[in-house]
């Protein structure tokens, strides 16, 4: 009979710990984003540095 209450407390503790972990990950990502700074307007970060036209071959 007392086992159900203990299980519920453990489940609640695990849920709270998971929420704390998620919050810390969110804070870390927010800090990293602030450190990166702003990107130039109109420039896609996925394709930055790629020049238009034929690309050099791997051997060059």
What is the SS3 string spanning 1-60?
CHHHHHHHHHHHHHHHHHHHHHHHHHHHHHHHHHHHCCCCCCCCCCCCCCCCCCCCCCCC
Tell me the pLDDT band of 9, cut-offs 50, 70 and 90. very high
User: Is 60 buried (19+), middle (13-18) or exposed (0-12) by CB count in 10 A?
Assistant: exposed
Task: Please report the pLDDT score of residue 1 as a whole number.
Answer: 60
- Determine the pLDDT at residue 27: 97
């Amino acid at each position: 009979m007392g086992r159900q209450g203990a299980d519920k407390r453990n489940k609640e503790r695990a849920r709270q710990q998971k929420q704390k972990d998620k919050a810390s990950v969110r804070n870390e990502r927010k800090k990293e984003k602030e450190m990166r700074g702003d990107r130039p307007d109109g420039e896609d970060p996925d394709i930055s540095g790629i020049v238009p036209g034929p690309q050099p071959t791997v051997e060059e």
